[in-house]
Amino acid sequence: MATTQTSRVTTRRYAVLLTPDQEEGGYTATVPALPGCVSEGDTVSDALANIQDAMRLYIETLEAHGEPVPEEPRRPEVHVVEV
């Protein structure tokens, strides 16, 4: 009996931080669990699409070099604090 092996795709989830650019508009997107993974976009949708592409490339590069892919053990919490 012949068997076929399908390639297995791993889906990962990461928190993305969107920071509005007060001077020029748009958003900067960063991924705290993936140091240096940064992108931007004119709208929230653009920023999220762009950071998703950046995350894919970041992970592909790590895998190509045999380096471990960071996992996000716990989602970060965001709190607003008045001072």
Q: Specify the pTM.
A: 0.80
Q: Which distant-in-sequence residues (6+ apart) come within 8 Å of 58 by Cβ?
A: 31, 34, 36, 37
pLDDT 10s digits, 18-73: 999 999 999 999 999 999 999 999 999 999 999 999 999 999 999 999 999 999 87
DSSP state of 74: S
